[in-house]
Structure 1
Amino acid sequence: MNRHAMPIPFRFCFLMPLAAASLALSACGQTADTPAMEPPLAGADIGGEFELVNQDGKLTRWSDFDGQYRMIYFGFTFCPDICPTDVSRAIKGLEKFAEDEPQLAAKVQPIFVSVDPERDTPEAVGQFASAFSDRMIGLTGTPEQVKAAADTFRVFYSRGEDTPGGGYLVNHSAIVYLFGPKGEPLATLPTDQGPDAVAEELAKWVN
């Protein structure tokens, strides 16, 4: 795969067709008699070191998760629909995977990173993450820290339209990435296809 990230269009909390494309890449030309293919994102220039703050206010680095598979999503806690839907389907997919492969599922760390540092305090991201799973870690940081992390993971975001009551939305790319134990990108998880599809994709790459 090209090591340079492809441009990714975005709109407010949109569902990425990249997940479906990843499935197509992983299945293309593969039969029961052919060897397993490389992960769809093998070699992609996505992901890397960051410094953010977790729900307990503790400095957290990407390297802190070395040895674990990582399921990571960038969103914001005030998101009215897509962010909660994506995170819920990702977590339910992980839970379904755990039903068949509990030891392998235990190797997967779900992570939520806020792209709204102005409002998303450590407490806010912690409450958001724990609403979906006690295992999920919520991360935030200064605007500079968040931007650096988003750039590293090829996530695009910007402040969107104002909402009644003085709030605002955030435009951002909505992708659930799966990374390996060394921090290497493996695949996107097809949350748009539901938890079963997420569980199937996890089963392909987590070993």
Structure 2
Amino acid sequence: MNDRKILLIGGVVAIAVIAIGGIYLSTRPSTGNQFAACQAGVVSGGMDSFGTDFTLTRDDGNRVTAAEVFDKPSLLYFGYTMCPDVCPLDSARNAEAEALLKDEGRDVQTVMITIDPRRDTPEVMAEFTDLFSENMIGLTGTNEEIDAVSKGWRNIYKAHDEEDKEYYLVDHMTMTYLVLPGNKTVEFFPRDVTPEVLAERVGCFLDAAG
């Protein structure tokens, strides 16, 4: 735990963040759907190309399906607990946006799926997510399960564990996805969006969803 905290808080090696490979926003607003006014642009393949059904292990040790996880509007993030800087900052931003939305009476949650299942056991995930929100859900699984879920959300990651099997870094994308009940992904947000703007934009989608 002490070594993990050192990496989490005071890591001296900056993580390399993979560019948004394969995901491109245009300046033309999306049309022909109920969320057109809320979306920042259009994406190759459309938002329907994001997401997949899954069964993963929740941070309480229970196996859960996508339908059970996404029973309310969710801010979904892919990261890992030993990430020295990016993941804690993004998780804190998402948790702050969740709190702002709840202040407005909107029932939302945050979800983190690990891309480092070797080290991120349910217990480790629970300890990490509790740092940011008591309602944040942490999910892990087998390598094959995490690969399949990441592919479903077009998430790219790579572990640099060729030499060090314990204290390696993982390159990964840093998008946060808005997933509505029914496992419907309607938008993604880059990490430079502030908590206030994120909460405002999520609110637009919730209003549009009725």
- Mapped contact 1:158–1:171 kept (Cα < 8 A): yes
Q: Aligned-residue CA RMSD in angstroms?
A: 3.0
**Counterpart amino acid of 1:89?**
R
Structure 1 unmatched ranges of 5 or more: 1-10, 30-34
* Cα distance in structure 2, aligned partners of 1:64 and 1:166: 32
**Counterpart amino acid of 1:77?**
T
- Mapped contact 1:55–1:123 kept (Cα < 8 A): yes
Deviations 1:60-106 (A, max 9, x none): 1101135411211010000000111111111111212222x21x2x1
Answer with 159-168 or 140-149: which moved more: 159-168
Aligned to 2:77: 73
Moved over 6 A (4+): 17-20, 161-165
- Mapped contact 1:20–1:190 kept (Cα < 8 A): no
- Mapped contact 1:71–1:109 kept (Cα < 8 A): yes
**Counterpart amino acid of 2:173?**
S
**Counterpart amino acid of 2:152?**
T
Deviations 1:114-154 (A, max 9, x none): 00011111001111111100010101011111111111111
Aligned to 1:60: 64
TM-superposed CA distance for 1:15, in Å, is: 7.4
5 Å-filtered alignment, 1:151-166, equals 151-160=151-160, 166=166
5 Å-filtered alignment, 1:9-48, equals 12-13=16-17, 21=25, 37=36, 40=39, 43-48=47-52
- Mapped contact 2:18–2:157 kept (Cα < 8 A): no
Relative to the length of structure 1, the TM-score reads: 0.77
The 1:194/1:61 distance shift into structure 2, 3 A limit, reads same
Aligned residues: 186
5 Å-filtered alignment, 1:75-154, equals 75-99=79-103, 101-102=104-105, 104=106, 106=107, 108-154=108-154
- Mapped contact 1:53–1:140 kept (Cα < 8 A): yes
Aligned to 1:7: none
The percent identity for this pair of structures is 28
SS, match of residue 198 in structure 1: helix
Aligned to 1:171: 171
Greater RCO structure (CA 8 Å; 6+ sep):
1
The 1:19/1:187 distance shift into structure 2, 3 A limit, reads farther
**Counterpart amino acid of 1:37?**
A
Answer with 146-155 or 183-192: which moved more: 183-192
